[in-house]
Structure 1
Amino acid sequence: MQLLNTGARSDTKVVSETTKAGGLRGKLNKVVLAYSGGLDTSVIVPWLRENYGCEVVCFTADVGQGIQELEGLEAKAKASGACQLVVKDLKEEFVKDYVFPCLRAGAVYERKYLLGTSMARPVIAKAMVDVAKEVGADAVAHGCTGKGNDQACLTIRFLTLNHVRFELTFFALNPNLNIVAPWREWDITGREDAIEYAKKHNVPVPVTKNSIYSRDRNLWHLSHEGDILEDPANEPKKDMYMMSVDPEDAPDQAEYVEIGIESGLPVSINGKKLSPASLLAELNEIGGRHGIGRIDMVENRLVGMKSRGVYETPGGTILFAAARELEFLTLDREAIQVKDSLALKYAELVYAGRWFDPLRESMDAFMQKITDTTTGSVTLKLYKGSVTVTSRASPFSLYRQDISSFESGQIYDQADAAGFIRLYGLPMRVRAMLEQGI
Structure 2
Amino acid sequence: GNDQVRFELCAQALNANLKTIAPWRDLEFIEKFKGRQDLIAYAREQNIPIDATPKAPYSVDENLYHTSYESGMLEDPMTAPIPEMFKMTVDPKVAPNESESIRIHFKAGIPVQVSNLSHPQVDETDPLLLFLELNRVAGKHGIGRIDIVENRFVGIKSRGVYETPGGTLLRAAHLDLEGLCLDREVMKLRDSLSVKFAEFCYNGFWFAPEMDFVRHAIEFSQKNVTGYVDLELYKGNVTVIGRYSNVALYSADLASMDLEGGGANIEYNPSDAQGFIRINATRLKAHNLVQKRA
Whole-Å separation in 2 of the counterparts to 1:249 and 1:303: 39
Residue 92 of structure 2 contacts residue 236 of structure 2 at CA under 8 Å; is this kept in 1?
A: yes
1:424 aligned to which of 271, 277, 280: 280
Q: Which residue of 2 aligns with 1:269?
A: 114
Whole-Å separation in 2 of the counterparts to 1:424 and 1:255: 46
Range that drifts further, 424-433 or 252-261: 424-433
Q: Which residue of 1 aligns with 2:48?
A: 206
Q: Against the structure 1 CA distance between its residues 308 and 335, is the aligned structure 2 distance closer, same or farther, given a 3 Å change threshold?
A: same
Q: Against the structure 1 CA distance between its residues 357 and 275, is the aligned structure 2 distance closer, same or farther, given a 3 Å change threshold?
A: farther
Residue 267 of structure 1 contacts residue 274 of structure 1 at CA under 8 Å; is this kept in 2?
A: yes
Whole-Å separation in 1 of the counterparts to 2:43 and 2:221: 55
Query: Aligned-pair distance for 1:192?
Result: 4.5
Whole-Å separation in 1 of the counterparts to 2:75 and 2:85: 14
Q: Which residue of 1 aligns with 2:7?
A: 166
Query: Aligned-pair distance for 1:229?
Result: 1.3
Count of paired positions: 274
Query: Aligned-pair distance for 1:402?
Result: 1.2
Q: Which residue of 1 aligns with 2:66?
A: 221
Query: Aligned-pair distance for 1:168?
Result: 0.6
Q: Against the structure 1 CA distance between its residues 193 and 386, is the aligned structure 2 distance closer, same or farther, given a 3 Å change threshold?
A: closer
Q: Which residue of 1 aligns with 2:182?
A: 331
Residue 57 of structure 2 contacts residue 73 of structure 2 at CA under 8 Å; is this kept in 1?
A: no
Whole-Å separation in 1 of the counterparts to 2:41 and 2:58: 20
Query: What SS is found at the alignment partner of 2:207?
Result: coil
The share of aligned pairs that are identical, in percent, is 42
Whole-Å separation in 1 of the counterparts to 2:193 and 2:66: 23
Q: Against the structure 1 CA distance between its residues 216 and 429, is the aligned structure 2 distance closer, same or farther, given a 3 Å change threshold?
A: same
Q: Which residue of 2 aligns with 1:242?
A: 87
Cα deviations by residue, 1:163-201 (Å, 9 ceiling, x for unpaired): 1111111110111222333333352332648967997xx
Q: Which residue of 2 aligns with 1:319?
A: 170
Which letter maps to 2:159? R
Residue 195 of structure 1 contacts residue 205 of structure 1 at CA under 8 Å; is this kept in 2?
A: no
Is the aligned partner of 1:187 residue 2:40? no
1:353 aligned to which of 176, 179, 204: 204
Range that drifts further, 230-239 or 288-297: 230-239
Range that drifts further, 280-289 or 425-434: 425-434
Runs of 4 or more above 6 Å deviation: 193-199
Query: Aligned-pair distance for 1:430?
Result: 3.1
Q: Which residue of 1 aligns with 2:261?
A: 409
Whole-Å separation in 2 of the counterparts to 1:196 and 1:320: 41
1:231 aligned to which of 57, 62, 76: 76
Q: Which residue of 2 aligns with 1:390?
A: 241
Q: TM-score, normalised by structure 2?
A: 0.87
Whole-Å separation in 2 of the counterparts to 1:281 and 1:290: 14
Q: Against the structure 1 CA distance between its residues 309 and 196, is the aligned structure 2 distance closer, same or farther, given a 3 Å change threshold?
A: closer
Q: TM-score, normalised by structure 1?
A: 0.59
Whole-Å separation in 2 of the counterparts to 1:377 and 1:171: 40
Query: Aligned-pair distance for 1:365?
Result: 0.5
Q: What is the root-mean-square deviation of aligned Cα atoms in Å? A: 2.2
2:16 aligned to which of 175, 191, 205: 175
Q: Which residue of 1 aligns with 2:134?
A: 283
Whole-Å separation in 2 of the counterparts to 1:319 and 1:390: 14
Range that drifts further, 415-424 or 427-436: 427-436
Which letter maps to 1:308? R
Whole-Å separation in 2 of the counterparts to 1:241 and 1:195: 24
Is the aligned partner of 1:299 residue 2:150? yes
- Structure 2: gaps spanning 5 or more residues: 117-122
Query: Aligned-pair distance for 1:274?
Result: 2.3
